[in-house]
Amino acid sequence: MSTWPIHPLRGGVHPPQRKTLSNQQPIQRAPLPKQLIVPLLQHLGSPTDAHVGVGDHVLKGQLIAESANLISAPVHAPSSGTVSFIGPQPYPHTSGQLMDAIVIDTDGLDMWCSLEPLTDFHTASASVLLDKIRQAGISGLGGAGFPTVIKLSPAANQPIKTLIINGTECEPYITADDVLMREKAAQLMIGIDILVRILQPENVLIAIEDNKPEAIAAVRSALDARSYHVVVLPTIYPSGGERQLIQILTGQEVPSAKLPAQLGILCQNVGTIVAVHDAVVEGKPLISRITTLTGEALHNPMNVECLIGTPAIDLLEFAGLQKNNMSRLIAGGPMMGFTLPALDVPVIKTSNCLLAASAAELPAPPPAMPCIRCGDCAEVCPANLLPQQLHFYALGEDHTQLQAHNLFDCIECGACAYVCPSSIPLVQYYRSAKADIREQANKLAKAEHAKERFEFRQERLRLEEERKEAERKARAERLAKTKAEQAKKAAQAQDANANNPSGASDDELKRLKITASMAQVALRKAQKQLDTHGTAELQAQVEQLRISAEQAKQALDAATPSTTSAAAVTKKPAKPELGAAEQALKKAKIDVAMKRAALRKAERNEANAETLAALQAELSLAEQGLDKLNQTEEVGV
């Protein structure tokens, strides 16, 4: 077999590997837990929506949550049982905040739902295979959790030429991929075959570090006649990072803001590929994974095949946890993992390791001392960055310089902090700086958006004003024109009237009709006002209007030659008037609400005690009135 040329990693560190703690025994099967907590977001992308309700009975592998969004992965029930709760539950995150999850009380039967394996994937089309992978809810099991189906669907003009199978597992303590490759090499090969069928790459490289001789042997013997290359890499951290691995195997550097797919390269973790095999060949969705349980606080460190959603405490107790010996529980490895604040968090699709560390094993770091500018951090950075400069700019919050020094290319591997002689927690500075920059960018985008809406609104109001102005002018012109015409006609009518004293002309009649109807409308409006706000002025106004309406009506009747009733004057049909009692009730309710609001406003504006007392008195009066009306209604009807 020809050896594939490798380009050694620039930088990198050699922390103690501590893999022999957990890779001495085969994969154990974790016992079925009593409760499974299945979070709705276990991947990069949009959270899923639950498709089941509390009390539903679910079968093992049944779809329980899905998202309509493209960048998402559906979630399946890891075992059969009853859904007992859907809502915020503990989640493996360093903040300890809760996340929505579906809680299933297992019934112990572990009954599968009906599975639909693909009989022969060699003849299936790529889209059928991708659909199976998507339905199985597979996301990257190596740590990031990106939905696999999207990674496997590159753009048509960017075909994948090199498929890299990532079996390096460079982080200390973690051995999940190691034992997976030893025991499931055959499934791994078939999984790679499926991927090859979808992507049709030119080269397939299986990268394994040289500290896993059994895994290398197992994978090599499972190769048979396939032309895949098994590439053995020298052990160094972090050779397993996607961009670092690509650089080691191909010598190509993935540019700053670009994806490996744009270079025609795709990377997949061995665990993800075995899950692809299970989904296609056995029809099983992603409901379990291999997790390393390790650390000196465990009596029996091991690798377990555990169901997604198993509470961490169950697994740790299965591995013989010595609680008084454990000083920290870390999700992930000692370099890139984070401390879990509680033990009841569930295992999710990306949980590759639970490290129960004793105080002696992972002591608390000494307090940070000022940077002595030794430059060790820049020597070990696998991404060729300048951690020292990033540190100073992060301290000074100089976002421009941080971005000029490619802060977002940092993979947060922790190699720089590992070698720092001053024990500065460098990665924490970078994480916080990245978060600040993202937050500022969001705020800026939001402000831009708000500015656009504001300017659009100003424009809209301005256009409305213009339109109103134009209409007003047009109306005024029309009125002036009609007045002129009327004056002309009136002059004519005068002459006509001289010959026709009895009965007015049609125009005259129309005018009288209009006056009469307008008087009626004004009277009705005033009456309505009077009903809601009964004041003396309004009373007087109403009287006046009534008189003028009467006069107009009389004038009209006098002028009308025919006997059309005055009722025809009212053109508009009268609105169905509310009964007096209902009107009064409505009025009282509105009155109370307004007085209450006025009181609250006065309180907020800190008015003096007298004003407050007066408003309070008005409010109580209004409330009493309302109560009385309510009582009469109840009694009366």
Task: List residues near another protein by CB under 8 A.
Answer: 41, 91, 93, 95, 97-99, 366-371, 392-398, 422, 424-425, 428-429, 431-433, 435-436, 439-440, 443, 446-451, 453-454, 456-457, 590, 593-594, 596-597, 600-601
Q: Which of residues 41 and 63 has its CB atom nearest to another protein in the complex?
A: 41
Q: Which of residues 272 and 388 has its CB atom nearest to another protein in the complex?
A: 388
CB of 48 to another protein, least distance (A): 14
Which helix or strand (DSSP H or E) is residue 499 part of? helix 426-499
CB of 608 to another protein, least distance (A): 20
How far is 547 from 551, CA to CA, in rounded Å?
6
At CA 192, angle to CA 186 and CA 194, rounded to 5?
A: 110
Phi, psi of 232 (to 5 degrees): -95, 125
Q: Which of residues 211 and 388 has its CB atom nearest to another protein in the complex?
A: 388
CB of 253 to another protein, least distance (A): 27
Angle between helices 609-636 and 580-604 (to 10 degrees): 160
How far is 187 from 195, CA to CA, in rounded Å?
12
Choose among 142, 107, 98: nearest CA to 346: 98
Angle between helices 506-532 and 536-559 (to 10 degrees): 160
At CA 613, angle to CA 609 and CA 615, rounded to 5?
A: 120
CB of 452 to another protein, least distance (A): 9
Q: Which of residues 427 and 512 has its CB atom nearest to another protein in the complex?
A: 427
CB of 394 to another protein, least distance (A): 7
Gyration radius from the chain CA atoms: 40
Q: Which of residues 418 and 429 has its CB atom nearest to another protein in the complex?
A: 429
How far is 561 from 455, CA to CA, in rounded Å?
60
CB of 373 to another protein, least distance (A): 10
Q: Which of residues 318 and 429 has its CB atom nearest to another protein in the complex?
A: 429
At CA 416, angle to CA 411 and CA 417, rounded to 5?
A: 105
Q: Which three-class secondary structure state does DSSP give residue 197?
A: helix
Q: Which of residues 408 and 454 has its CB atom nearest to another protein in the complex?
A: 454
Return the amino acid letter for 586: K
How far is 11 from 9, CA to CA, in rounded Å?
6
Q: Which of residues 45 and 81 has its CB atom nearest to another protein in the complex?
A: 45
CB of 594 to another protein, least distance (A): 6
CA distances from 392 to 118, 226, 387, 389 (A): 56, 51, 9, 5
Q: Which of residues 229 and 399 has its CB atom nearest to another protein in the complex?
A: 399
Q: Which of residues 154 and 425 has its CB atom nearest to another protein in the complex?
A: 425
CB of 410 to another protein, least distance (A): 13
Q: What is the DSSP string of 24-93?
A: SS-PEEPPPPSEEEEES--SSSPPPEE-S-TT-EE-BT-EEEE-SSSS---EE-SSSEEEEEEEEE--S-
Q: Which residues pair with 233 in a beta bridge?
A: 209
Cβ burial, residue 365 (10 Å; 0-12/13-18/19+): exposed
CA distances from 596 to 159, 525, 534, 609, 611 (A): 69, 27, 19, 16, 13
CA distances from 97 to 49, 58, 339, 355 (A): 19, 27, 13, 20
CB of 425 to another protein, least distance (A): 5
Q: Which of residues 540 and 590 has its CB atom nearest to another protein in the complex?
A: 590
Structure token digits, residue 376 = 């060790």
CB of 398 to another protein, least distance (A): 7
Structure token digits, residue 372 = 């002595």
CB of 435 to another protein, least distance (A): 3
